[in-house]
Each structure stands twice: as structure tokens, then as C-alpha cells.
Amino acid sequence: MTTPLRIGVAGLGTVGGGVLQILSEHAELMAARAGRPITVTAVSARDRTRDRGLSLDAMTWHDDPVALASDPDVDLVVELIGGEDGPAKALAEATLAAGKGFVTANKALIAHHGNALAITGLENDCALRFEAAVAGGIPIIKGLSEGLAANAVTRVYGILNGTCNYILTEMEQSGAAFADVLADAQELGYAEADPTFDVDGIDAAHKLAILTSVAFGTPIDFTTVKTEGIRNITPLDLEFAEELGFRIKLLGITARSGDSISQQVRPYLVAANTAIAGVNGVTNAVIVEGDAVGAAVLEGPGAGAGPTASAVVADIIDIARGNIHPILNPSGSASAASGADDEAEGRFYVRLEVEDRPGVLAQVTAALGDEDISMEELLQRQPESGSAAHLVMTTHETSEANLNRALDRIAKLAFVTEAPEVIRIESF
């Protein structure tokens, strides 16, 4: 096929500029891999006068990004605006309704509206692609939907947010407090001015909801992802974790057991000798467990102009080759369970700040014993000043529901000076 694939790009920021640069600098290579030339014929962005370091003279400019969907010289639209609603959603709906391919790096858009968009794409026989929405330059969507298609997947887990991984790595290595490392991350451009989506786990939850759908063929259900961030993690927790042979990572985990699927984003203690424990800084990593392949590990940069643009262009090439097979299954019969089963058995790390006086440990163990919870390891540390002591324990297998009941009782004891900190221990 020699007919060019004509592209319209909405959003010319860091990633949009990277896409245009790849398509321009590697035009012959892209054409050879796609089997046809790929040309950018139209663009849209907020500021028409901004110098982006490349010429837009040959491209039609649209002040309204939604106009790209109806431009007769555009066959496929790339959305790099961001946001789950507004112009991004309107552009996606209009593009797919017009029977044109749609490529996006927008995880919030797909997590919240992917089911409806997939249905529109199916109805109009056109492709919806979103490789860049999850884990940046790591080809996890294509890996799940194609490379590992022969497997019955049982679990997918990984580090899905580079900002949180950077913060935890720096806290662990420097001993600095969360707020100080977050400020450094913002100065370096790793965290937004409003870091809520990152540090509260929402960004990772968006990505996990998408991975769940692709891995298990279920409709996307972001509302059922049990989500917890890293704001409560202290350098002391990281020190205790190391002493116990663990590291703390914010992980997204989706797992299937029978007809039930759990989706969780939360901090976990993971054994220091596991592959996931060694992933540091802004790097992302995803591990897929399948019945035929075993465990497949994909690791790489999760954000940035180059990696994200790389994933976007890979989707463009896929569509240029004529691959419009749907990735999402919005009408799948199975649905994700509501977050996680609190009755599921697991091990936990618990840190208590308590007054240093006789009888404390006896009352704590009594409360745990009443819920059939036994301690596996116990550490105690007396601060250099003040009367508060840190009591840290890991539990044997127990349900989160049982542990929460015991901790509710412990938190009300007069000698407990702070709310207990609980982190699940995960074995890989």
C-alpha cells in the first residue's frame, strides 16, 4: 500500500513535539515499517505563535482540536491534550464516530471512558490505540494483547508511577522526609505542582484499570481499584523495612482467582532480593504471570518525551499496517471485583508509636490474639529524645479485616500516640 496515512495531532507539548520529530527525522524508516508513508497534515494546540523548533508551515492549523476529526485530509488523530473530559473526550468521540483511527497517551481518558470509546470504534470499524497511556515506552499493551496472547494471565503487577518510585528511592537512600523529597521531585520536573494524582496513587490506578481490562478481557472499571498513596510512608518505615529484609514500593496489582478479579494500588513491602525491589528512580516495570510463559518482565522509562512519543508512533504504525483489531472488550461478561477482598489472607507490616511504659506489648498482643493474629517478627526502637517508642511487627497470614479490627482497638489504647501504619507484604 503506497497511499500515505495522514495524521492530525492535537497537543504540541513535550510529547507532541516528540511525535512530530520522530515522524520527520525517521520518515523513510517509518514508511518502510508501516508499508506506507506517514505524513502529518494538520495540528492543533493552544498557542499558535510558540516556537517549537520545527516547521508547521505545511500543516493545517486548527484552533479547535475537535475540528481535526472532520478534516478531510486527516485519516487518523493523535490526542496529546490530556484530561479525562473536555476537548480530549470530545475529540475522541468525534474521531471514532467519523470512522477514523484514534491514538492517545491519555490514561485518564481511557480509564474513565475507554469502554464507551471502544464501542464507538467497533461500530465504525476503526482503531482505538493507547500504548503510551500505560508505562510510557514499555510496550505492555501490545505485550499483553499480542505477544502474550497464548497465555491465560493470572496476575499483572508492577511499578506504574515513576514519580512515586523516585520519591521512595530518594527517601530510602537519603533518609529525607516525604515532603522534602517531593519538593525536589517537583523542582526536577518529576512531579507536578499539584502532585495529588501521582502521590495518592490515582495515576497508577488509571493505568492498572486499563491493564486489568487488557489482561483479562473485562470492561474497564476504574471505580473498583482499591487505591492508597505514599503520603504516610516515613523514612523510619523504609529503615525498618530494610532491617526486616524488605523494600517499600508503590505497586499496582491485578490478579484473577476463579471468577474474581482484584485491583489494588498501594505501598507494599517486597523482599529485597526480588526483581521488582531493584527497580529504582523514575523507572517503571511490569511483570505478567501467564500459564505458559511463567513470569515475563518488562522494564524501562515510564514517562518523558522520547519514550512516550515512541509508544505513540508505534500505535500509528500499527494502524498504518491495517491492524484495527480491538484491544478492549467493553462487553466482556466478567467484571472486576470491588477493589480487594478484605477477607483474603496475607502478611502485614505494622508500625505503632507508643509510650514507653510497662504492659504495652501485652495489651497489643492481646488485641491481636483476640483476632487470631500472630506476630512473625517484632522490632522496637526508642527515639533519642522523648518518651515515645516505635513498635514494629510483621504478622503471619491473616485477613486484612481481622487486622483492621485489632488495630481499631489498639488505636484507642491510651498509650498509642499515633494512628498505626499498615503496609501489606507481598510475595513474588
- Catalytic-labelled residue, pool 89, 142, 207, 226: 207
| Main-chain dihedrals φ then ψ at residue 284, nearest 5 degrees | -105, 155
The yes-or-no answer on residue 89 being catalytic is: no
Q: Write a three-state SS string for the chain.
A: CCCCEEEEEECCCHHHHHHHHHHHHCHHHHHHHHCCCEEEEEEECCCCCCCCCCCCCCCEECCCHHHHHHCCCCCEEEECCCCCCHHHHHHHHHHHHCCCEEEECCHHHHHHHHHHHHHHHHHCCCCEECHHHCCCCCCHHHHHHHHCCCCCEEEEEEECCHHHHHHHHHHHHHCCCHHHHHHHHHHHCCCCCCCHHHHCCHHHHHHHHHHHHHHHCCCCCHHHCEECCCCCCCHHHHHHHHHCCEEEEEEEEEEEECCEEEEEEEEEEEECCCCHHHCCCCEEEEEEEECCCEEEEEEEECCCHHHHHHHHHHHHHHHHCCCCCCCCCCCCCCCCCCCCCCCCEEEEEEEEEEECCCCHHHHHHHHHHHCCCCEEEEEEECCCCCCEEEEEEEECCEEHHHHHHHHHHHHCCCCECCCCEEEEEECC
Q: How many CB atoms lie within 10 A of CB 325?
A: 9
Alpha-carbon torsion angle 117, 120, 125, 126, nearest 10:
-30
Q: What is the distance between the terminal CA atoms of the chain, rounded to a whole angstrom?
A: 47
Q: How far apart are CA 22 and CA 1, in angstroms?
A: 21
Active site residues: 207
